[in-house]
A and B are shown apart, each in its own frame.
Chain A
Amino acid sequence: MFLKKYISDVFGAVRSLLKGMRLTGYYFTHRKEIITQQYPDNREEMKLPERFRGEVVMLHDEHNEHACTGCTACELACPNGTIKIITKFDITPEGKKKKALDTFIYHLELCTMCNLCIEACPTDAIKMAQNFEHSVYDRSELTKKLNKPGSKIREGVE
């Protein structure tokens, strides 16, 4: 009785090991199952989904105009103090003072890509871009100014 159990155990053990090895052998001989991506070489073909959060960018149209009113909703929505908005006062043709964006400072090194600023923006002036290769040689390069030099607010955006 003991011998019978012992022998069946041994055969069962060998069978279970061969089963696993058969699977390993299958993947060893079937090259089409390989899913490894050759990352730096396939940069051109690799496309990230449009919702992927890489970094915050400000949208500018062909006239170098953006939609940011400087309302600081994104600054208040950010949990980490990633965004700092400096506003200035423009003089309108009627001679009135109007609050406008001066500098949109974005600290990429503090950003956790939580998308709350994009959700908070009332005019859809900012969005998430798909680039993810953020490594730089100096930390100061991660602090970015998002509004392009000479840009101004688009007509009709309130």
Chain B
Amino acid sequence: MIQEVGTTEQGDLVVNLGPQHPSTHGVLHLVVTLNGETIKKVEPHLGYIHRSIEKMCESLSYRQFIYVTSRMDYLSSHINNHGCALCVEKGMQIEVPPRAKAIRVLMGELTRLASHQLWWGAMAMDIGALTPFFHAFREREAINDIMEETCGARLTMNYMVPGGVMADLHPNFQKRVKEFINFFRGKLHEYDELVTGNIIFKSRMEGIGYLSPEDAVSYGCTGPTARGSGVSCDIRKLYPYEVYGELQFEEVTATGGDCFARYMVRMQEMRQSISIIEQLIDNIPEGQFQAKTKAVLKLPKGEFYSRVETARGEFGVYIISEGGTTPYRIKFRSPGFSNLSALDHMARGHKIGDLVAIMGTLDLVIPDIDR
């Protein structure tokens, strides 16, 4: 039993950060044991936003359960849907048309950009700079408008269906994405000018929250969190899905392992995403956007697993099918949960103010952790 309030026998102060704390991005509850201002232990408490999504999926058909995963990691909802669609296609052995593959990758990279933009703004706000938040939301709005035009929604798109995408690209899509890329390239330079080189920001980030490559692997960290420690774990490179194998892009890694390294990985990933979009936007193959599928999808008996790289790390979908129209069991491997487990290790020995910086660079989305 963890003590939740007061002082321990050793005279350490126990403080509750959250669940209603502005800098915990939602309902994350951290029980922090403090010696003076130094962190001795961080204990995350989960369960405040548990919606039993995995159980819900068991009563939904293979077309219906995809939309629920948008509600897990809502910032990269498109990529979550993508993972589910891939898993169903694997089970049904549906061949996705090349046009749908290209559209999926394009949308996924746009989602990654939008997610990283929001992370950048929110993290700078945690550190204490309010201006970047408005800058980030201005650019994110442009992506949201593109999504709204083609997918029909801004955040929970539900654009993926098993066998392709729900609708063809909007005629304006290519023009607007090119406009956005030109516009955003200049803004990325502004991001660097405003935050990356700032001396206050650097001194808050450098050397804080060190995570060694060995620890990153043993805690199961993925995504920019692990790549900031020099662990190569990009699913897009290691196990290429859709058209990622044919594209030229680099897996961004840094060796620092501290908050600043993780920050720089995400900043460079935005540039890589831009380059992926530029390679694809003029080379979208013609053809169908959706494969012909049966009206009722029935997965054969067996177990299926597929994984994708979301903006936060590896997202896995594991389906056990008994041959019916609904899954027997679904398990989601969410990146946020594993990344959060390393928080205690990273925060020990640092000041309480640094805890917010570490959490910011982990890019936590609470409904993803606690689904």
Contacts and interface: CB of A to CB of B under 8 A. Distances in A.
Interface string A7-22: 0000011001101100
Given A16-B197, A19-B197, A79-B68, A51 B63 contact: no
Interface in A99-139: 112-116, 119, 128
Contact of A23 (B141, B190, B200): B190
Given A52-B153, A53-B152, A128-B152, A17 B198 contact: yes
A156 to B, nearest CB: 23
Contacts, number: 65
A23 B68 contact: no
Contacts of A23: 190, 193-194
A150 interface: no
A112 to B, nearest CB: 6
B117 interface: no
Contacts of B122: none
A35 B145 CA distance: 13
A17 B198 CA distance: 6
B156 to A, nearest CB: 7
B217 interface: no
A121 to B, nearest CB: 12
A86 interface: no
Nearest to B59: A79
Contact of A112 (B60, B156, B190, B200): B156
Contact of B60 (A20, A48, A79): A79
B64 A77 contact: yes
A78 B60 CA distance: 9
A49 interface: yes
A91 B158 CA distance: 41
A48 B64 CA distance: 26
Contact of B193 (A20, A51, A53): A20
Nearest to B200: A17
A102 B195 CA distance: 61
Contact of B152 (A16, A19, A52, A79): A52
A23 to B, nearest CB: 5
A24 interface: yes
A51 B149 contact: yes
A46 to B, nearest CB: 12
Nearest to A112: B67
B138 interface: yes
A55 to B, nearest CB: 12
Nearest to A19: B193
B190 A115 contact: no
B167 interface: yes
B149 A49 contact: yes
A52 B161 CA distance: 18
B83 to A, nearest CB: 17
Interface in B114-148: 131, 138, 141, 148
Given A23-B194, A52-B153, A79-B64, A114 B158 contact: yes
B361 interface: no
B43 to A, nearest CB: 34
Given A24-B131, A49-B152, A119-B161, 12 more contacts: A12-B199, A35-B138, A51-B150, A79-B67, A112-B67, A112-B156, A113-B153, A113-B156, A115-B166, A116-B64, A119-B166, A128-B152
Interface of A: 12-13, 16-17, 19-20, 23-24, 35, 48-49, 51-53, 77-79, 112-116, 119, 128
19 contacts: A12-B199, A16-B197, A17-B200, A19-B197, A20-B194, A23-B193, A49-B148, A49-B149, A51-B149, A51-B150, A51-B152, A53-B153, A77-B64, A78-B64, A79-B60, A79-B67, A114-B158, A116-B64, A128-B152
